[in-house]
Structure 1
């Protein structure tokens, strides 16, 4: 199994604070609604993998059932086509590449907000394709090391044809081909896991060791992810 970079430590701390940063329920509502829309109006989590994963994330964040229900209903309501998933590409300080995943009902507002945040923090927006070639779209499952043994991880890895497993002090990060995301339910029936989602994994990592530089990039990502419209930011740091 792979080791982890200094960024992994920052990433774990940042993820632990996701629930208290920004309007998490608003983000999750957008994600659930978008999952229904992209699933062709399918509101059955058993037959809509993106919806199932979005609901799992909502439950993990203690989102009220009524909020989840409203978000699902919005996905088949008259305003369903207003919300769109958009992938923005850009650059952070020191040339770090960024993939910014947004779910928005107002593209002009979101674009303006992202551009302003980047420009105020030594970054800039890129054109479509300017950084995406540096990332691999894939599936990611995160396991708590105390909840599953390594042999089980390796078995699941083989079943999903995983191409990388990163082990940290208390987590396993299992990366596998995106096209297998819809089949994970078959392999995780009796396994406890923290999350399963779409990821953009960098093909190569920029070898930063300067704590101040890493901190500055981390602060930019925090600011971007504090936006209600931004679901997640991926980087090659």
Structure 2
């Protein structure tokens, strides 16, 4: 288990999404509704729903909005959302995986394909890039819960497989801890960690690249525009990539 490696957020700049609060609430509500519809409407009895509710709380989503999303599923008023995965290549052949919850596959596929085409990439077939990623569970904590040693010790005790910590250097880069686990043990490990570190910022299934690609200054602008465009789509829940961006290259974006 590696406990002292710095990490780059492969989901792009979280702060950029935080500013789009209304759109973010819509995505969170959709995940809560789907989770409640697939299992029991009680977060204590439904691990996926608990994770969705915790994620909503981290984003300061009002309790009324959370309960309304749960009730929507319980009363049978929810749309029939389908989980869909898209795979493609961004500029310079960077591998991108897009996960969506949609009630209209044609609309979502068209939007995703257009985003790739307009930003130096192309949409591929299912399986085109996922072979270069591992399907794992990811538990995220802010840096303020403790230093690297504290989180590493807690993760080992809970049964995690890997920890990547970045203690940050201020408001612009608050850092955080990424704790990687097997898919099957995700919610069990999350429960054990919660006893020591409190509620996590995120508990979810993730795509972790087996190898990463360093992005240069000529490519980063187009890549970030592609990621932003995808993340802004109402149907898209998450975007994963095999890219690594240095602080120096990121600064060229201004």
Do the two structures share a fold, i.e. TM-score over 0.5? Answer: yes
User: More displaced, 150-159 or 214-223?
Assistant: 150-159
Separation in structure 2 between the aligned mates of residue 61 and residue 3 of structure 1, nearest angstrom: 27
Q: Kindly indicate whether the alpha-carbon contact (under 8 Å) linking 1:165 and 1:172 is maintained by their aligned counterparts in 2.
A: yes
Matched, 1:108 2:106: yes
Partner of 2:177: 172
Partner of 2:15: 16
Separation in structure 2 between the aligned mates of residue 29 and residue 122 of structure 1, nearest angstrom: 31
Match of 1:218 among 220, 224, 238: 224
Matched, 1:74 2:72: yes
Q: Kindly indicate whether the alpha-carbon contact (under 8 Å) linking 2:154 and 2:196 is maintained by their aligned counterparts in 1.
A: no
Deviation at 1:204, TM superposition (A): 0.8
Partner of 2:31: 31
Alpha-carbon spacing, 1:9–1:47, altered in 2? closer, same or farther (3 Å): closer
Q: Which runs of 4+ in 1 moved over 4 A?
A: 9-12
Deviation at 1:118, TM superposition (A): 0.9
Separation in structure 2 between the aligned mates of residue 11 and residue 186 of structure 1, nearest angstrom: 25
Q: Kindly indicate whether the alpha-carbon contact (under 8 Å) linking 1:2 and 1:164 is maintained by their aligned counterparts in 2.
A: no
Deviation at 1:54, TM superposition (A): 0.5
Deviation at 1:79, TM superposition (A): 4.7
Separation in structure 2 between the aligned mates of residue 102 and residue 156 of structure 1, nearest angstrom: 32
Deviation at 1:207, TM superposition (A): 2.8
Q: Secondary structure at the match of 1:146?
A: helix
* Aligned 1:183-198 pairs, distance under 5 A: 183=188, 184-192=190-198, 193-198=200-205
Q: CA RMSD in A?
A: 2.1
Partner of 1:85: 83
Deviation at 1:51, TM superposition (A): 0.5
Separation in structure 2 between the aligned mates of residue 86 and residue 97 of structure 1, nearest angstrom: 17
Q: Kindly indicate whether the alpha-carbon contact (under 8 Å) linking 2:11 and 2:240 is maintained by their aligned counterparts in 1.
A: no
1:28-47 deviation digits (Å, cap 9, x = unpaired)? 111111112332xx111111
Alpha-carbon spacing, 1:125–1:54, altered in 2? closer, same or farther (3 Å): same
Q: Secondary structure at the match of 2:87?
A: strand
Alpha-carbon spacing, 1:4–1:149, altered in 2? closer, same or farther (3 Å): closer
Separation in structure 2 between the aligned mates of residue 62 and residue 223 of structure 1, nearest angstrom: 24
Separation in structure 1 between the aligned mates of residue 148 and residue 24 of structure 2, nearest angstrom: 32
